Amino acid sequence: MSFGAEGPSWAISTPHTAATDAGVAAFERGGNALDAALHAAITLTVAYPHMCGVGGDLFALIQRPDGEVLALNASGRSPRGADPEAARTHHPEMPERGPVPVTVPGAVSGWHELHANGAELPWSDAFEAAARLAFDGIEVSHSLADILADPDAPHAADPLLGPLFYPAGAPLPVGATVVQSALGTTLATLAERGPGTLYGGALGAAYAEGLAARGVPVALEDLAAHRATILAPLRAPFGGFHVSVVPPNSQGFTLLEILALADRLGLDADPHGPDAGTLARVVAAAARDRERHLADPDAMLLHPSVLLDDGHLAGIADEIRAGVPDAPAAPATRGDTVALVAADARGWAVSLIQSLFWDFGSGIGEETTGIVAQNRGACFTLQPDHPNAFAPGKLPAHTLMPALVHDERGLAAVAGTMGGYGQPQIDAQTIAHAIVAGRSAADAIAAPRWIIERREPGDAGPLALVEEGLPTPVVDAIASAGFATLPVGRRTEALGHAHLIRLGPGGFDVGSDPRADGGAAAG
């Protein structure tokens, strides 16, 4: 399968060929972009089980044929039985694994909303490819094998994950076949009974009972109370374009800040251009805003419209012009997530992202259902006076952030990436490569990247990961702007994997990231 494709009727890109194939099959059966995205998303739960699943969350942007854009937030809350004081007593920082950071899974509710808002094929059809691969087996991808081979990974000891992925105590290698029968049964159950079986029904009861035995306080009542929401997107101008994202608790506004600041400062937004050093400082400044303010929207002290208004952006721009030092604000890009994009000539388009957060999420797999519990609660802080403080029944600050780009003619691009807190800057780079520098979708995705990360406590200043192949003047400019540069190998997941569709007079130009195991297709 190719990393780039063109076609007049439809396009799709995902990080795994099985998911791309499932999306293509949906198009060929008469489905639209929503059907293709839904089929691909569910297939990814089997093909990339370390990155997404029934136990994770989902965000999406949906464009309808009439031009209306819907922002879908299918993220789950902390359980009502969560105990922040106990967490503070036993942990210096919010735990990243185990029972404490487990939150209510939202992905299945997101699939349902996607289907209910314009999909044309039957709900059950979307599960066929995924269930078949779960029961019959699927080959271990390069991405999954790399995770399994990590000697520090805790997964081998889990009662579900150990027998599946570490038979005889050794991690499965690339190309080995893994059968996920319990997950297959769960997918078949969802196909037959719908999402209600998880959110308050028999499947949810089995999942909650299994979690309780592992010390996780997510109860059936938490599952029954969950609702996905459809919102109006956040939009902001960038050059002659407008970029749309999902509002908080998504970090999407950070991308809008980066692009708006680049405009305000008159920068060449090409990440390989002469202003790369200043762009890196823009990224660090936007990350500081995210760390200070992003939270459950009901807890945020500043509305995102304030963070994007002229006065606020002017203040940040003045600090950058004055050379105010950059504080180490942005957490590492770690985040095991899948993004996918789909569009069709009927006017439907989807940018969808779903995730368990870290590889295999909390590291807790529920044996009877085959569901892996996400660790999205790791995004909370234990600082009690912070808007994102850990509390019962609360949405955590969230990394997932799909994006759409429009111009005066309508939809111009559909974008999405994995990469944890690095997603805004990865999207900014791929959008700029395509929209500003005029590169094809495949070239925009494959272009070498740089990513700003926070250094370890005690280190001075933020760190820039610079991918092999970046032009030397770009690396020098970032270093001159005060960032320590760390070279990383070409096409590693440390720099995320992104997907992009560009729309033009001839139809669709779609690119898939060679850093992943997927491909692009168009027809």
Mean pLDDT of the region 407-436: 95
Give the gyration radius of the chain's Cα atoms: 21
Q: Percent of the chain scored above 70 by pLDDT? A: 96
Q: Given a cut of 80, is residue 497 above it in pLDDT? A: yes
CA-nearest of 281, 286, 273 to 423 is 286
Give the closest residue to 395 by CA, choosing from 297, 253, 497.
297
Q: Is the pLDDT of residue 334 over 70?
A: no
Cα separation, 516 vs 523, whole angstroms: 22
Which helix (H) or strand (E) segment holds residue 178: the answer is strand 177-178
Q: Which of 186, 189, 197, 337 is catalytic?
A: 337
- Measure the CA–CA gap between 513 and 136, rounded to whole angstroms: 27
pLDDT at residue 459 above 80?
A: no
| pLDDT at residue 330, as a whole number | 46
User: Burial level of 508, CB count in 10 A (0-12/13-18/19+)?
Assistant: buried
Indicate the SS3 state at residue 450: strand
pLDDT at 331 over 80: no
Whose tokens are 């506004």? That residue is 253
Both ends of the chain: CA-CA distance in Å?
A: 14
Q: For residue 185, indicate whether it is catalytic.
A: no
Mean pLDDT across 318-325: 80
**What's the pLDDT band for 325 if we cut at 50, 70, 90?**
low
* Buried-exposed string 441-474: b where 16+ CB fall within 10 A, e elsewhere: bbebbbbbbbbbbbeeeeeeebbbbbbeebeeeb
DSSP 8-state assignment for residue 521: E
Element holding 27 (H helix, E strand)? helix 17-28
Q: Mean pLDDT of all residues in the chain?
A: 94
Q: What pLDDT score does 455 carry?
A: 57
pLDDT at 461: 63
Between CA 472 and CA 327 the distance in angstroms is 25
CA atoms within 13 Å, Cβ hemisphere of 58:
33
| Least confident segment among 205-209, 213-217, 458-462 | 458-462
